[in-house]
Amino acid sequence: MKNVTIGDVARRAEVSIGTVSAVINEKNTVKPETRKAVLSAIKGLNYRPRGSARNLKNTDIYSNSIGLLIRELDNPFYMSIAKGVLEYAKSKGYLVIIASSEGDHTFEEKIIQGFSHKDIKGVIIAPVLEGTAEIEHLFSLKMINFPFVLLENVRGIQANAVSIDNIKAMRDAMKYLFANGHSRIIHFAGPKHASHTYERIDGFRQAFSESHFAFSIDMIISTGAHLEDGYKKCLEYFQNRSRDDFPTVIVCYNDLVALGVISALNEMKIKIPDEISVVGNDDIPFASHVPVQLSTIRAPMFELGRKATEILIRNIESSKPLQVENVVFEGQFIVRQSTKALQLIHSNQHEDIEQIVS
């Protein structure tokens, strides 16, 4: 089948090529009924606007490229995802252009606009979620039939997504901690712009609701996503706090926060795990190569990136619209040196614990 052109769209919608271009570029000079006819033609023909259709010069570097938009450039979680993206993209003859929003919603919109206005074929997005307009730019991508895959589910939009079951993973880790005698547990939660933050909080709360221990909102401490966030928040939390009031476990949003917590606890001469256990999330490469190896929830980061790229390229190369795909991976709790059992596990609990950890 020949490539669909902007002229084909114009003929289907019975308008000029200039009108189609105006719709693609979101000009306000087109009447609503005309815009609707053009968008219908774009969808019906599965047309993918090229950069040249947006009045931008086509360059060879973008001719067979996809974009990867991450949220934090210094987070090894996203670098591991990027490795999966790069491997699969290379096997299919695609280049990958990587950008980071650094948690800035406005900057994310600008990056996505830049990607969609070049001849980049599609994009994988770790979205920044904040305010009431967080998905308007994603709807714009759907409107012009620009292929994209989300690395988190976003409420309110039907889009391809590859994600982790953060709720179940957190619940499983908490069940392990409960079974090992811990009940005084706090959670250093992540940034407000990440859905992972709320999913992990939900898993934390659900684990308490399924146990005989009481949950309190004071157990959730808003922290962030970076090592420095964990370090500063930990020093702040334990300032003027007596040892009798210590939690027995700090469960962290991610491994970077956990490593910051470990650094702060060491500085305060609080022994890990003898006095306080620490749990991370993601299982970044550093987690098992620190003096006190970190217990953490392993996320299949490489596989996440690879699957997202597979879905994206499948949509790019399809001559017709495909069904939306939503792939969910499970996490795995990995027990290392940073956690300690407070009491002996009853024999009938061993099998349950082994199932949780495996």
The domain spans of the chain are 6-47, 60-163+301-329, 166-299+332-357
Tell me what pLDDT residue 57 has.
42
Cα(322)–Cα(316) distance, integer angstroms: 10
- Does 198 have pLDDT greater than 60? yes
pLDDT band per the 50, 70, 90 thresholds, residue 54: very low
User: Which carries the bigger pLDDT value, residue 135 or residue 49?
Assistant: 135
Tell me what pLDDT residue 187 has.
98
- Does 230 have pLDDT greater than 50? yes
CATH topology of domain 6-47: 434 Repressor (Amino-terminal Domain) (1.10.260)
DSSP 279: E
Cβ burial 142-172 (10 Å sphere, 16+ → b, else e): bebbbbbbbbbebeebebbbbbbbbbebbbb
- Taking residues 211-216, report their average pLDDT: 95
**Superfamily, domain 60-163+301-329:** Response regulator (3.40.50.2300)
| Structure tokens given for 180 | 């090992």
pLDDT band per the 50, 70, 90 thresholds, residue 55: very low
Cα(2)–Cα(269) distance, integer angstroms: 69
- Does 172 have pLDDT greater than 60? yes
CATH topology of domain 166-299+332-357: Rossmann fold (3.40.50)
- Does 94 have pLDDT greater than 90? yes
Cα(195)–Cα(71) distance, integer angstroms: 12
CA-based angle 308:313:318, to the nearest 5?
A: 130
Go through the chain and tell me how many residues it has. 358
- Does 126 have pLDDT greater than 60? yes
pLDDT band per the 50, 70, 90 thresholds, residue 133: low
- Does 354 have pLDDT greater than 70? no
- Taking residues 4-19, report their average pLDDT: 84
- Taking residues 11-21, report their average pLDDT: 85
Cα(52)–Cα(21) distance, integer angstroms: 10
Average confidence score pLDDT of the chain: 88
Residues 6+ apart with CB under 8 A from 124: 66, 67, 68, 69, 85, 148, 149, 150, 151, 305, 308, 309, 312
Tell me what pLDDT residue 277 has.
98
Q: Do domains 60-163+301-329 and 166-299+332-357 have the same CATH topology?
A: yes
| Structure tokens given for 213 | 């221990």
- Taking residues 180-188, report their average pLDDT: 97
- Taking residues 232-261, report their average pLDDT: 96
CB 283 within 8 A of CB 290: no
> What is the pTM (predicted TM-score) of this model?
0.79
pLDDT band per the 50, 70, 90 thresholds, residue 305: very high
DSSP 130: -
User: Which carries the bigger pLDDT value, residue 55 or residue 132?
Assistant: 132
Residues 6+ apart with CB under 8 A from 36: none
Q: Which amino acid is at 334?
A: I
**Range of weakest confidence among 214-223, 271-280, 345-354:** 345-354
